[in-house]
Amino acid sequence: MKNSAELQKILFTGLEDGGKTSILLLLDKKFSLLPAVKPTIKAKRTFYTNSLLGIQITRWDLGGQKIYRKIYINEKSKYFTETQTIFYIIDIQSQSKFDEALTYLKDITNIVSETHIENFQLLILLHKFDPDIRDNSTIIENQRFLESQITKIIGNLKHSIYKTSIYDVATLLRAFSDGVFYATPKSKMLQGLLKDYMGKTFNSATLLLDQNCFIIASRSTNEDYQRICEEIAPRLTRALEKLEEWAINTVDIVTTIEFPEKHSDFQKEGIIFLRKLDITNTRLYLIALCLNKNVKLKSYEYLPILADNLKNLLESFK
Ligand SMILES: Nc1nc2c(ncn2[C@@H]2O[C@H](COP(=O)(O)OP(=O)(O)OP(=O)(O)O)[C@@H](O)[C@H]2O)c(=O)[nH]1
Ligand SMILES: [Mg+2]
């Protein structure tokens, strides 16, 4: 039997038409259901298990129409108590609804400020930040406006803001991974192993992904290096899996990199590599960013030791 620490309640909330149900469908890879998504009637619960980290989650998709929002606020103990993580979704394209979205966010913030549990996380998704309109001046203005208002509304409650779109799955994998896995004790143990590996190899970012491309642990020396790896990881795993469909045993996918602003000899022959690790019948991916040749060599040299340590740790979880 699982202990209660491993059972999490996670809410997806926000106004109607924000994209909550679509996000869940995409994370579940139910692509064919996406075009026909309908407004959610009241609250819909679905279950998600991550066997690698031994986490079981109840995901509450709270339909965002006004009549339902009233019900949740009136019955706040039913809907909001014992919640580990809230994803609050705001449609970044829907300027006319910003005031209403911020008011509802304020209501929720007031509720959880009173009662939230340890390690509670609030993740605000500025959603429908689609790849083709990212540089659009209205969208940039909307983003600035929302970020400044959110900071005012939320006060001291810890929160993070993400820009997401169903047309860029990496943005959603990252938000979900941060909100659901990152603070768990097992992820922290895995992060410890990545830290040791980085200490030996001096690479600049190392991420561990499960077979669905959720980031289950990561370490980096710099936010940008982390983002780069997060953004390309799902694309590299796709390439690796495609090659496997051709029955080509693909050990890794490697890209040679050079940062234009860093021309010193030190920064030569850097790589980002994605390596598959099949440990005790479980598919994992490791992605690492190495700024130069020495780091690259060391990162490969210490890989077997890291793989061994991961294997031992994952077996101890069982
Ligand atoms: N452009 C764009 N449209 C999106 C995105 N995500 C969802 N949508 C669209 O937004 C509309 C509403 O999506 P839903 O997932 O039903 O929204 P919801 O938040 O669950 O709505 P309620 O259930 O009524 O609360 C649908 O037409 C989706 O196709 C996105 O990232 N970009
Ligand atoms: Mg819905």
pLDDT digits (tens, 9 = 90+) for 73-104: 999 999 998 999 999 999 999 999 999 999 99
What's the pLDDT tens digit per position in 263-293? 566 677 899 999 999 888 889 999 999 999 9
Indicate the burial class of 104 (C-beta count within 10 angstroms; 0-12, 13-18, 19 or more).
buried
CA distances from 310 to 95, 165, 314 (A): 46, 32, 6
Locate the ligand 1 atom nearest the alpha carbon of residue 62 and give its number.
25
> Which ligand places an atom closest to the C-alpha of 17?
1
Q: Rounded CA gap, 191 and 197, in Å?
A: 10
> Which ligand places an atom closest to the C-alpha of 163?
1
CA distances from 13 to 66, 85, 315 (A): 12, 11, 36
Pocket test for ligand 1, best of 13, 31, 32, 37 (most atoms within 8 A of CB): 37
- pLDDT value at position 107? 96
Q: What is the mean pLDDT of residues 32-46?
A: 97
- pLDDT value at position 2? 40
Q: In the chain, which residues fall in CATH 3.30.450.30?
A: 185-317
Which residues fall within 8 angstroms of residue 15, CB to CB, at 6 or more apart?
64, 69, 90, 91, 97, 100, 101, 104
- pLDDT value at position 4? 43
Question: Quick check: CB of 16 below 6 Å from ligand 1?
Answer: yes
Hunting for tokens 């208002």 — which residue is that?
Answer: 149
CB 60 within 8 A of CB 68: no
User: Both tokens of residue 251?
Assistant: 């050990």
> Torsions phi, psi of 49, nearest 5?
-125, 135
- pLDDT value at position 163? 98
- pLDDT value at position 26? 97
Banded pLDDT at 188 (limits 50, 70, 90): very high
Question: Quick check: CB of 130 below 6 Å from ligand 1?
Answer: yes
Q: How far is the CA of 23 from the centre of ligand 1 (A)?
A: 8
User: Both tokens of residue 292?
Assistant: 């130069």
CA distances from 21 to 44, 132, 220, 235, 265 (A): 9, 22, 32, 23, 49
Judged against a pLDDT cut of 60, whether residue 128 lies above it is answered with: yes
Q: How far is the CA of 195 from the centre of ligand 2 (A)?
A: 39
Partner residues linked to 316 by β-bridges: none
What's the pLDDT tens digit per position in 129-163? 999 999 999 999 999 999 999 999 998 888 999 99
State the pairing for strand pair 159-163/205-210: unpaired
Judged against a pLDDT cut of 70, whether residue 51 lies above it is answered with: yes
CATH topology of domain 185-317: Beta-Lactamase (3.30.450)
Q: How far is the CA of 61 from the centre of ligand 1 (A)?
A: 12
Hunting for tokens 């609050």 — which residue is that?
Answer: 88
Question: Quick check: CB of 166 below 6 Å from ligand 1?
Answer: yes
- pLDDT value at position 155? 86
Locate the ligand 1 atom nearest the alpha carbon of residue 25 and give its number.
15
- pLDDT value at position 265? 62
Give the number of other Cβ atoms within 10 Å of residue 266's Cβ. 12
Q: Rounded CA gap, 80 and 45, in Å?
A: 14
Pocket test for ligand 1, best of 22, 62, 129 (most atoms within 8 A of CB): 22
Return the residue whose CA atom lies nearest to atom 7 of ligand 1. 19
Q: How many CA atoms lie within 13 A of 50 on its CB side?
A: 29
Return the residue whose CA atom lies nearest to atom 9 of ligand 1. 19
Alpha helices in the chain (DSSP H): 20-27, 66-74, 76-80, 98-115, 137-154, 169-180, 185-201, 223-245, 293-301, 303-317
Question: Quick check: CB of 165 below 6 Å from ligand 1?
Answer: yes
Q: How far is the CA of 133 from the centre of ligand 1 (A)?
A: 16
Locate the ligand 1 atom nearest the alpha carbon of residue 38 and give its number.
16
Q: What is the CATH number of domain 4-180?
A: 3.40.50.300
Judged against a pLDDT cut of 60, whether residue 201 lies above it is answered with: yes
CB 316 within 8 A of CB 190: no
- pLDDT value at position 6? 64
Partner residues linked to 220 by β-bridges: 205
- pLDDT value at position 1? 35
Q: In the chain, which residues fall in CATH 3.40.50.300?
A: 4-180
